[in-house]
Amino acid sequence: MYAGCGRYTINIASIILLFVTNVTNAYCHAIPPSISFRTMAAHAVAFQAALIRIGFPQAAVDSIVANGIMSTNNLLGLSDKDTAQILKIIQTGNPPIVVPYIAQKRLNIFCFWANRRNRLNEPIDPARFNQAALDTYGRLMTFEAQEEDATTTVKAPMEFKTGSKWKPFKEGVIAYFNSVKGNHNIPLAYVI
């Protein structure tokens, strides 16, 4: 179908395809451009199936997708606070959607799984997020949370002054950086 607009004739199907492609690329920014639209659509369907598998009702899945989380790539960088905010939007929407507590917990594990595998440069195909992965990454997430609670932070060393001894200052700085965790729970001593 074509629409005439003065001197220009526009193919409506081309405009719709261009719009869908741009919207899809905006939401699936981590998917390389060489992946076809069919592959992205299959990935989105697999993501929705994974959400249903972890306990979300279909209405909640539709609401999650409507809020811009269309694939596992959109889970990258989401924290527990972010998922809580998304779930709050879903639960207080019109109509309000009831989301089981266990599904909420599993969504946090799903985000943790996606971020961890992405950091390790492993594929984050939603079909790989099965019961075994849920159990394994759930335990790992719990272990890391307990480890954060149990860690004692070492007092930061005083400012280095000329004339003071370098070796004790250096050991204090290293101990301090070993106790402070940075992004992805990596000690700052490893980064520096």
Q: Dihedral of CA 76/78/79/80: which sign?
A: negative
Question: What mean pLDDT do residues 100-105 have?
Answer: 93
Predicted confidence at residue 61, as pLDDT, reads 92
Asked whether residue 41 carries a pLDDT value surpassing 60, the answer given is yes
> First and final CA of the chain: distance in angstroms?
60
Give the model's pLDDT for residue 149: 59
Q: What is the pLDDT of residue 54?
A: 93
Hey, CA dihedral for 54, 55, 59, 64, is it positive or negative? negative
pLDDT confidence of residue 175: 81
Side-chain-side CA neighbours of 18 within 13 Å: the count stands at: 6
Name the nearest CA neighbour of 101 among 148, 67, 60: 60
pTM of the predicted model as reported, rounded to 2 decimal places? 0.62
Q: What is the pLDDT of residue 159?
A: 77
Q: Which of 79-93, 109-123, 178-192 has the lowest mean pLDDT?
A: 178-192
Please compute the mean of the pLDDT values over residues 163-187 and round it to a whole number.
77
Task: Give the Cα separation of 166 and 160 in Å (integer).
Answer: 8
Please report the pLDDT score of residue 157 as a whole number.
Answer: 74
- Angstrom distance (rounded) from CA 144 to CA 30: 26
Highest mean pLDDT (candidates 14-18, 42-46, 50-54, 186-190): 50-54
98 in the Ramachandran plot: left (φ > 0), alpha (ψ -120 to 50) or beta? beta
Q: Over pLDDT 70: what percentage of the chain?
A: 73
